[in-house]
Structure formats: C-alpha cells, structure tokens
Structure 1
Amino acid sequence: MRNKNAKTEQGGFVVVVVLCMVMMLSVLLLGFHHEARVNLHSVDDFRRSEQARHCAKAGLNIAIAALKESPDIRADKLQRNLPSYGNTFAVGEGQCSVTLSQESGKLNVNFLKDRSGKLNQTAIDQVLRLFDLLNQQKNAQPQMSYALVPAIIDWADGDDEISDLPFILCESRGAESDYYRRSKPPYACRNGPLETTEELVLVKGMTKEVFDRVSDYLTVYGDGKINVNHASALVLQSLSEQMDAALARRIENRRQLQSFESVAELRDLPGMTETIYNTIRRSATVEPSSEYFHVVSQGSVDRLSRTIVAILHRSGETKNVEVILYKEL
C-alpha cells in the first residue's frame, strides 16, 4: 500500500510539474505573439510612413511642374494651375495636398536696413504696422512687441552696435552678440542676412508662439518689394497708415478678376487717394525681379501623414526651378 501511495504522489507531482511547464510555455508564446504583432505593426507603420513621404514628394514635384508650365504667375494663376491636378489627388495607395504661395507678397526682414547700412524707415514702418494689425485682432495672443524690430535689425546687420530706434517710444533697443553669448546655451548672433524665416526664432524676444503668428507675413527672399498681386490683406494694409481693410479687400477683389499689369492701376480703385498711392508705389510691384515660392506638400496613407516644406526659386531668364530649401516634418 505504501509503495502504491508513493507512486500515486509521485505521479501527481509530475502532473503538476507538466502543467506548470505548459503554463510557462503558454505565457512565453503569448509574449512572443504580442511582440511579433507589435513588430508587425511597427513595420507596417514604417512602410505607410514612407509611402506618405513619397506622396508628399510627388506633391512637391507637381508644384515644380506647375511653375515650369506657368509663365505668368500673377493674380493666383499659378495656384489655379494646381487644381488641374486636383486639390487633393491620389498617389498610389495614398493622397497628397499642395499649397503654394509667392514669397514676394510678404515683408522682407532682410531689408530693414539698406545696402549702405542705413535704417530703411519705410520697411520698418511696414513691419511695425503689421504688428499693430496683428495685435488688434480679436483674442490676439501673444502680443507682438515692437522690440522685435530692432532685435531683427541687429541680428541681420553686419556690425555689433545695438540699434536704438528713436521713433519708437518704448522697447526701442535691439540686441547684439553680448546678449546671445549670455544665453543658455550661448550661441552666436548671425550679423548677416537671414537665410530662412525659421531663423527668426533665434532672435531676442521671438518665441515659437510669436513666430507662428507672424511667419505667414514675413520672408527673407526676394528684392524687398511687395507684389500687390499676391500680398495678403494684412500685408497690403501695412503698406500705408491710411490703407484700411476695405481698400485692401478692393485690391484683392480686383486682382481675382484681373491681375494688375502695373502699380499705377491701383489709382483706379475707389478709395485709393494720391497720398496712399504715393506712399506705397515705391515699395510695391507687380513684377518681382526674382521669384521665390513657398510650398507645403502633405502626403497621407491611412492615418499616417508626412509633410514637406520647400522654397523654390524660378529663374527669370531660363524659367528653371531650383529647390533652395527642403525640409521634411
């Protein structure tokens, strides 16, 4: 009886051990299965992300093709050329959307001083008025500080003398190398023309939130003149103290019907006085000497998307299109 009971106990122990081993193997198999599924999803997400990136590249190529095919880019004719491909168009398993804007319709912060190093009062006043207009918008936050203007001037000029703008009652002083060397971490002041608008976030007082509010209206490309066939309503208003929102809308409405062939045609608009015209005619243009374009191309596949931002330059002589800035987000 004793031997029989011992064998029974031993058999029961073996069964328990086997069951434990089965349970452990099951847990391991479930873990491997879960890890395999995670890895599979990661690989699939990577594949779709790459597909979305290629969709965004396809959108950039469409923008380049549109520029090459459109000799006249005034009055949004170029933008109208993109919908011939579809505002949002299919690319393989995904789709892509493209937006394109003329940089000549923005205020150029590299021209706040002229080539001789003197303050460009006209350009400075335009940026200050733009800040006022942004600050007057409903629930405008953050507020645009006048101190940004002398700070931008000092960042872009070639000297180490702090600018002080006497026509600004407060916040009139900029910042030079000493200020940036004391930053944490320290970095150098460019003391030269800005190469990208994103560089503005390095300037004293230019937070990311402020930059996001103002970046659509500023540029660092072109000859400094404002293309009235592409400028936004706020940029148009910034050209003159007397330019109100109603007159800016009239300019926008007119160019939608027919592009301005010359700056002098602005005189024909109701509300355009000789004072306003004489204020803006030297800083306005309808034919910029150099053509720069801002492209945002977003590709998406299922729930994943990739964005490409680029600056394109089109030669006035050969009409060749060159990518001078390319960034994947």
Structure 2
Amino acid sequence: MTNRKKGFALLGSVLFAALLVTLFLKYFGEAGLQARIDSNLDQALQGRLAARAGLSMGLALLFQDRNPTDDYDESWSEIPRLTSKYPIEVGNGTCSVTISDEAAKLNVNLSDEETLTTLFEKFDLGLLGSATIFGEPIRQGASRRLAQHILDYLDLDDSPRPMGAETDAYRAQNLPPPRNSPMLDIRELRNIPGLTPELFFRQGRRPGLSDLLTVEGEGFINLNTARREVVESIPGPPGYFGEKRKAYFDALYKCLPFKRVAGYYDFLVSYDPWIQKQYSNRFVLFSSFFRVESEGWVGKVVRRMTAFVVRSRVGEYQVKRLEEVP
C-alpha cells in the first residue's frame, strides 16, 4: 500500500512537472509571437514614415521649381533618380522617390483609335485574338484590338467595335461591366478583358500602358519629357508623311530639350512656318500634372505612397490625390 501511494505521488509529480513545462512553453511561445508582431508593427510604422519622408522630399523639389519649362535635366527629376541607386536613410529605414510628368503621356480619355493603335504598334503592345494558326494565337491586329477594347470601356454606348468588348463580353468572363465614361484612374485599364499585368507594367526596356497613358490633364504633350514614340503617334504635321515626316522629327529632337518658353515656336518658324497651329498647339513645354511615388522599407517591410500634384503657371501647387499602399 505504501509503494502504491509512492507510485501515485511520483505520477502526480511527473504530471505536475509536465503541466509546468507546457505552461512555460506556451507562455514563452506567445511572448515570442507577440514580440514578432510588435516588431512587424514597428517596422511597418518606420517604413510608412520613411515613405512619407521620400514623398515630402519629392513634393519639396516640385514646389521649389520655378523654371519656365520642364524637362528631365532639372533637379525635380535628377535628384529622385539618384535615390533608386542611393536610397536615403530615414531613421532605421530607407526610402527612394520617383517623379514622373503626366504630360509625357497620352490622355486615354481624350485619345482616338488611330492614335492609340499607332502608339501600341510602336511598342508591340496588343491583345491577341482567340483564333489560332497551328496552335499559335493570331497577332495581326493585336494593337488595334487593344485600342478598341479600351475605347469600348470608355464610350457611352454598349455596342462593341469589331474587335472590341462591351457588357456581354465582360459578363462572359464574370467581370464588372465597362465604365462607359471617362476613367478616373489609369489602373482601371486592368478591368478590361485580356489586359494582363505584362501589358500594364513595364517589362524590361519596354514600357507598359501605365508608362504611356494617363487620365490626368487636358491632353497636351510636353515635348521635353515625352517619348518620341508618344509624340509621333499624334497625327501630323499636316502634309508630312514618310521620309518628310521622319526628317521633321529628327530635326525637332536634335533641338530638345527647349529651355525657353518660345523654343518650340522658334523651331517651327525656322523649319516650316506654315505648320498649322491646330497641330503645334497640342504640344507644350511646361507641365501641370505630376506623379510623385515614394517607397520606404525597413527590413522586409515595404510601404508605398503616391501623390498626384497639380501646378499652375504662377507656381502654385496642389496635391490632387494621395494614395498609400500598405
């Protein structure tokens, strides 16, 4: 009987010790988890502060710019470009910032089919047809198909173009119907059937739609900041075709960037004073809409912020929209 009591006492002691070990491990496990959570929250906060610091720097560079024209040789563009190679240290984090000129892009809400098709063809951007030859998708007309899909998303009617898509095509793919009105955000392009991230974002040296199109501004193109392909996609000058048109753009781009407000006008007078203003008035040297993007990171935690800035001729600035990506 005495041995049995001793056995029960030993068993009780073992069970009690096991309970203590379990509670000990549970406590320190939860404490470790809480510590990791606290650490991640702290890093997230520091990353957000770093992103905001980069955004503030970008806005300050724009606000300080008082040049009569805009080009990528100015401090608002050159200094941010350096941060991609040499990130700025902010507390325990780092940040980088980029500033892009929205007047370097086509306003998709104001563009026509021929202009969009011409631009997309220059960069081999397009939507492939559903038909195939020897198992390969048909590429012919891919750029025009992409242009028609975009315009069908924007126009007021519900009648699809020959290679476009309206409500029925969206429903067939369980997608929300097209907006059928001007876009408010260029990211709406990703709602269009078949428009993949590879088309929307840059792929190596090839720009994506987000680099070529915008919803900001009144449709004017800044000659100093726009890609040549963007400028050439706009029809004209009237009467200029083939080699004659190429010679015009070759001469124009030898003179860029124009540092004086009258620079483009002086070029036209010396090159061909008969070029119609209806064409030349589509281009500017001063930009009113900018996108400032900042990225802050601490460890593996990254925070991104974007500001859309509107600037007037007299140097007044306003942040039109502020976005934060957690």
SS at match of 2:103: helix
Deviation at 1:318, TM superposition (A): 5.7
Deviation at 1:199, TM superposition (A): 0.8
CA distance in 2, matches of 1:328, 1:31: 35
Closer, same or farther in 2 for the Cα pair 1:70/1:84, shift >3 Å?
farther
Closer, same or farther in 2 for the Cα pair 1:214/1:82, shift >3 Å?
closer
Residue 175 (structure 1) aligned to one of 165, 172, 193: 165
SS at match of 1:53: helix
Number of aligned residue pairs: 291
- 2:253 corresponds to: 251
TM-score (norm 1): 0.74
Provide the alpha-carbon RMSD of the alignment.
3.6
Residue 221 (structure 1) aligned to one of 216, 222, 225: 216
SS at match of 1:147: helix
- 1:74 corresponds to: 70
Closer, same or farther in 2 for the Cα pair 1:21/1:97, shift >3 Å?
same
- 1:231 corresponds to: 226
SS at match of 1:146: helix
Residue 152 (structure 1) aligned to one of 146, 150, 153: 150
Amino acid at match of 1:159: D
Larger radius of gyration: 1
TM-score (norm 2): 0.75
- 1:139 corresponds to: none
Amino acid at match of 1:292: F
- 1:90 corresponds to: 89
1:140-160 CA-to-partner distances (Å, cap 9, x unmatched) read xxx754212122222222333
Amino acid at match of 1:148: L
Closer, same or farther in 2 for the Cα pair 1:280/1:252, shift >3 Å?
farther
Q: Is the 8 A contact 1:147 1:205 kept in 2?
A: no
Closer, same or farther in 2 for the Cα pair 1:303/1:182, shift >3 Å?
closer
Aligned ranges for residues 1-329 of structure 1 at < 5 Å? 6-72=1-67, 74-76=70-72, 77=74, 78-80=76-78, 82=80, 88-112=87-111, 120=112, 124-135=113-124, 145-163=143-161, 172-185=162-175, 187-212=176-201, 213-239=208-234, 251=253, 254-255=256-257, 261-264=262-265, 281-288=280-287, 291-317=288-314, 319-329=316-326
| 5+ residue gaps, structure 1 | 1-5, 113-119, 137-142, 164-171
Closer, same or farther in 2 for the Cα pair 1:153/1:315, shift >3 Å?
same
Deviation at 1:216, TM superposition (A): 1.0
SS at match of 2:95: strand
CA distance in 2, matches of 1:175, 1:45: 44
1:135-194 CA-to-partner distances (Å, cap 9, x unmatched) read 28xxxxxx754212122222222333434xxxxxxxx43233444355414x33222111
Q: Is the 8 A contact 2:224 2:256 kept in 1?
A: no
- 2:135 corresponds to: none
Q: Is the 8 A contact 1:64 1:321 kept in 2?
A: no
Amino acid at match of 1:30: L
Q: Is the 8 A contact 2:223 2:284 kept in 1?
A: yes
Deviation at 1:230, TM superposition (A): 0.9
Amino acid at match of 1:299: G
Deviating more after overlay: 102-111 vs 28-37: 28-37
CA distance in 2, matches of 1:20, 1:221: 71
Closer, same or farther in 2 for the Cα pair 1:249/1:66, shift >3 Å?
farther
* % same residue: 26
Deviation at 1:299, TM superposition (A): 0.8
Closer, same or farther in 2 for the Cα pair 1:258/1:286, shift >3 Å?
closer
| 5+ residue gaps, structure 2 | 126-138, 202-207, 236-241
Deviation at 1:46, TM superposition (A): 1.0
1:237-261 CA-to-partner distances (Å, cap 9, x unmatched) read 54477677xx679838942x95775
SS at match of 1:16: helix
